[in-house]
Amino acid sequence: MSIAEFSWVPAIIGGVLIGIAVVVMMAMLGKVAGVSGIASSLLRPFSAQSWQWAFVLGLLFSGFIVDTLFSPLQIEIEASTTFLLVAGLLVGFGSRLANGCTSGHGVCGLARLSARSIVATLVFMSTAALTVFIFH
Amino acid sequence: MQKISSAFIVGLVFGLGLIVAEMSNPARVLGFLDVSGRWDPTLAFVMGGALIITAAGFRLVLSRDKPLFGEVFSFPSSRRINVRLLMGAALFGVGWGLAGLCPGPAIVGLGALNEQVMIFVVAMFVGMKLFDFWPQKEV
């Protein structure tokens, strides 16, 4: 792994930006910025609302703009194609079953002290850590 | 129009936050989940930074009657901690731990046209679609 030593500064700045985004979403649209929920709504492209498309477009753009105009995004993936497929299936299905993911439950839900989100976050953190322990 | 442009900017800033925090790099995320190895606390600091803003921000925002461009503040209606929630979270976590990717960083990586992320995203949407075939009866 070639990643640099941990530095808390970009981590906190990034977290603050995420927090601002989430608060602004609630303030302006009154919606939870839960990526899995918004992304899955696009599965029904004609009933999905414009703001949902706009949000996903913004996410896509952030990756595109930084990667194209600034510096290539560092995306280090060791997982094989099979693992990527299985991982994707589980993340997609699991997030819908749980009605949320790291942003929906882990950021927004925790901020509201939602018991459901606290439990969901603890559970997915645990199984994720266990999975890493087993496979990496 | 205001809703659309706000949502777009929110997505953009959210994505930038993920990039700055290096959460768009699965290796960084897996470092946090690797509790028994060389533990990387980055993700904890990211969530901490976000929580500071959201905890204060939500209190302020939710003390108002309604959002700026909407009618109501909408939250998930269910408050029950049931088998579905537990199973869903468990499965999600396994998937997350397998590749170090979850929806947000995946879409950012898709924007960067990363081929491996593309594979994950396709599978992710298939997985999301498969849920439509899950019996809706509460478990």
CB-CB neighbors (< 8 A) of B134 in chain A: 97
Q: Which tokens in the block code for residue A17?
A: 């930006």
Residue-wise pLDDT for A44-77, tens only, equals 988 889 999 999 999 999 999 999 999 999 999 9
Contact A119 B36 (CB under 8 A): no
User: Smallest Cα–Cα separation from B87: which of B15, B128, B139?
Assistant: B139
Q: Is the pLDDT of residue B56 over 90?
A: yes
Whether pLDDT at B69 is above 80: yes
Residues of B in contact with A93 (CB under 8 A): 88, 91, 127-128, 130-131
Q: What is the mean pLDDT of residues B83-106?
A: 97
pLDDT digits (tens, 9 = 90+) for B92-102: 999 999 999 99
Residue predicted with more confidence, B36 or A136: B36
Percent of chain B's residues with pLDDT above 70? 97
CA neighbours within 13 Å on the CB side: how many for B73? 18
Selecting from B46, B53, B81 the residue whose C-beta is nearest the C-beta of A20 gives B53
CA A30 to chain centre: 19
Q: Is-contact A43 B128, C-beta < 8 A?
A: yes
pLDDT surpasses 50 at A7: yes
Measured CA distances, B80 to A7, A34, A54 (Å): 38, 18, 31
The one-letter amino acid at A132: V
pLDDT number for residue B135? 79
Provide the pLDDT for residue B134. 82
| Helix-helix angle A81-98:B103-111, to 10 degrees | 130
pLDDT exceeds 90 at position B8 = yes
Nearest CA in chain A to B107: A60
* Cβ neighbours of A28 in B, within 8 Å: 2-3, 6, 10, 67-70
Respond yes or no on whether ipTM tops 0.90: yes
Q: Do A14 and B62 touch (CB under 8 A)?
A: no
Contact present, A50 and B58 (Cβ < 8 Å): no
Instruction: Tell me if B111 and A62 make a contact (CB, 8 A cut-off).
Output: yes
Q: How confident is the model at residue B11 (pLDDT cuts 50, 70, 90)?
A: very high
Averaged pLDDT, A13-36:
97
Contact B25 A87 (CB under 8 A): no
Confidence (pTM)? 0.95
Distance from CA of A46 to the nearest CA of B (A): 15
| Shortest distance, CA A50 to any CA of chain B (angstroms) | 6
DSSP summary character for residue B38: S
- Higher per-residue pLDDT: A2 or A53: A53
Closest CA to A87 of A77, A73, A72: A77
CB B3 to CB A28 under 8 A? yes
Give the percent of chain B with pLDDT over 90: 87
* Residue B27 pLDDT exceeds 80: yes
Question: Which of A56, A58, A77 is CA-nearest to residue A66?
Answer: A58
Q: Report the mean per-residue pLDDT for chain A.
A: 94
Identity of the residue in B62, B89, B127 whose CB atom sits nearest the CB atom of A120: B89
**The pLDDT of residue A126:** 98
The verdict on a CB contact (< 8 Å) between A57 and B11 is: yes
CB-CB under 8 Å, B92 with A94? yes
**For residue B139, what pLDDT is reported?**
46
Contact, B11 vs A62, CB < 8 A? yes
Q: Does B77 have pLDDT greater than 90?
A: no
Q: Do B85 and A120 touch (CB under 8 A)?
A: yes
Q: Which residues 72-111 of B are in CB contact (within 8 Å) with A?
A: 72-76, 78-81, 84-104, 106-111
Q: Whole-angstrom Cα distance, residue B66 to residue A92?
A: 31
Average pLDDT over residues A1-5: 55
